[in-house]
Amino acid sequence: QVQLVESGGGLVQAGGSLRLSCAASGSIVSIDSMGWYRQAPGKQRELVAVITSGGSPNYADSVKGRFTISRDNAKNTVYLQMNSLKPEDTAVYYCNSRDLRTYSGSIYPDYWGQGTQVTVSS
């Protein structure tokens, strides 16, 4: 059974930092891109950052210069270092994988974690 398990969310004051982690498990052969999305109350889910298997990142304009995405392919894990946090960063953060392939031959084109809450107080 494939799983994406996020960790690292919490409550932080404005200007502070948090590091999110997302570990994929389940006899995984490869994962194309991995990324982070977020959803604030009453808003649609939006892209935060994605990174390809080759390590090329892409960021939402709202987080450029403050957030850094990275991944460890050997551990099937993606990270999101969030610095200079703002109250508007408050949301549930979801891990996403694209084109996840397992040794059993299964392909998961678009897979999501359960989400982790990030709350930034002013």
pLDDT band for 119, please (50, 70, 90 cuts).
Answer: very high
Rg, C-alpha atoms of the chain? 14
Average pLDDT score over the chain? 97
- Across residues 107-111, what is the average pLDDT? 96
Residue 43 pLDDT class (50, 70, 90 cuts) = very high
Closest CA to 77 of 44, 48, 36: 36
Read off the pLDDT of residues 66-84 as tens digits, 9 standing for 90 and up: 999 999 999 999 999 999 9
Give residue 86's pLDDT: 98
Q: What are the tens digits of pLDDT across the range 83-105?
A: 999 999 999 999 999 999 999 99
CA dihedral 45, 113, 14, 47 (to 10 degrees): -40
Q: What is the pLDDT of residues 22-37, one digit of tens each?
A: 999 999 999 999 999 9
Range 40-62 average pLDDT: 97
